[in-house]
């Protein structure tokens, strides 16, 4: 018989020194999220200030403070700021997805430094069906305006992964007014299109703020209309660009794949 080996305790993992953290942060940079990793700030000169913490403070009260037992999906998680905040609120499981491997590497290191167990996967918003599950909370912030097909993305979120709450944010430009819009207008009536509060999406053909991936900039009315069109009920608007929504039934005309206007068009 083989003699029993004495049980040994693995040596504790040595915490990184500040210089080691700084070296990792530099190697993983540049960062868009300014995170405090053991006293080292990842983007201290961010053009938006202490971002995204400064934005989070303006709407964090609109998110349930206790997420015990709930699941969260962070779409376009970047360096993981919101995923980490959801885990801090007790979420049972948090999944962050992004299509950029550099951001995912940052997010994994940030979660490790925060001592939070978060799953990160390389997926785009168009691939969410591959997750094969719905989440209690879906975070979709800072992504819509980078997409070539933004309404399709909202449709796919509703169809495949949204289980209850959606936290949505987009860069917005144009009027902050929301004009009343009728269900239908005669073909010859066009004046309502010129109302600043009519839902409008501004298309950016080239660059905006030096970023070639900035494709769209909705006004507030357009953000609200797109959310409703995709099947989300707006519960609150706690910050200028942020909407907290609940998944509802999608309108009859909604579909993730064109055509979506009923049997007549579908047969064409």
What is the tens place of the pLDDT at every residue in 205-219? Answer: 999 999 999 999 999
Contact between 178 and 221 under an 8 Å Cβ cutoff? The reply is yes
Contact between 147 and 203 under an 8 Å Cβ cutoff? The reply is no
Q: What is the DSSP secondary structure assignment for residue 61, as one 8-state letter?
A: G
Question: Whole-angstrom Cα distance, residue 87 to residue 90?
Answer: 5
Question: What is the per-residue burial (b if ≥16 Cβ within 10 Å, else e) of 16-50?
Answer: beeeebbebbeebeebbbbbebeebebbeebeeeb
Distances in whole angstroms, Cα of residue 87 to Cα of each of 94, 128, 198: 7, 21, 38
Contact between 76 and 141 under an 8 Å Cβ cutoff? The reply is yes
What is the pTM assigned to this prediction? 0.90
End-to-end CA distance of the chain: 77
Give the residue from 219, 172, 228, 176 showing the smallest Cα distance to 199: 219
pLDDT, tens digit (0-9, with 9 covering 90-100), for 69-82? 999 999 999 999 99
For residue 111, the Cα-to-chain-centroid distance in whole angstroms is: 17
263 has pLDDT over 50 = no
In terms of Cβ atoms closer than 10 Å to its own Cβ (0-12, 13-18, 19+), residue 178 is middle
Distances in whole angstroms, Cα of residue 209 to Cα of each of 105, 136, 204, 206, 228: 25, 34, 11, 10, 29
Contact between 128 and 107 under an 8 Å Cβ cutoff? The reply is no
Angle at 241 between CA 240 and CA 245, to 5 degrees: 105
Where does the pLDDT of residue 264 fall: very low under 50, low under 70, confident under 90, or very high at 90 and above?
Answer: very low
7 has pLDDT over 50 = yes
- Which domains does the chain carry? 51-176+192-266 (3.40.50.150)
pLDDT at 91: 98
Where does the pLDDT of residue 257 fall: very low under 50, low under 70, confident under 90, or very high at 90 and above?
Answer: low
């Amino acid at each position: 018989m083989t003699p029993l080996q004495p049980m040994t305790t693995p040596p504790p993992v040595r915490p990184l020194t500040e210089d080691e953290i700084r070296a990792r942060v530099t190697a993983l940079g540049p960062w868009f999220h300014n995170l405090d990793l053991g006293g080292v700030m990842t983007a201290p000169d961010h053009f938006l200030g202490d971002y995204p913490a400064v934005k989070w403070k303006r709407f964090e009260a609109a998110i349930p403070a206790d997420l015990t037992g709930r699941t969260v999906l962070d779409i376009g998680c970047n360096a993981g700021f919101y995923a980490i905040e959801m885990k801090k609120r007790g979420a049972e499981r948090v999944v962050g997805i992004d299509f950029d491997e550099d951001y995912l590497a940052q997010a994994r290191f940030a979660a490790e430094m925060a001592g939070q167990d978060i799953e990160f996967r390389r997926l785009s918003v168009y691939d969410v069906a591959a997750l094969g599950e719905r989440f209690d909370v879906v975070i979709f912030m800072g992504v819509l305006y980078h997409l070539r097909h933004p309404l399709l993305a909202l449709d796919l979120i509703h169809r495949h992964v949204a289980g209850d709450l959606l936290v949505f944010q987009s860069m917005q430009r144009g009027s902050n007014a929301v004009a009343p819009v009728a269900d239908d207008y005669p073909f010859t009536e066009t004046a309502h299109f010129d109302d600043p509060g009519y839902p409008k999406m501004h298309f950016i053909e080239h660059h905006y703020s030096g970023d070639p991936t900035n494709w769209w900039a909705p006004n507030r009315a357009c953000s609200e209309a797109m959310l409703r069109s995709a099947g989300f009920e707006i519960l609150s608007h706690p910050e200028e660009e942020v909407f907290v929504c609940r998944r509802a039934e999608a309108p009859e005309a909604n579909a993730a794949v064109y055509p979506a206007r009923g049997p007549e068009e579908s047969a064409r």
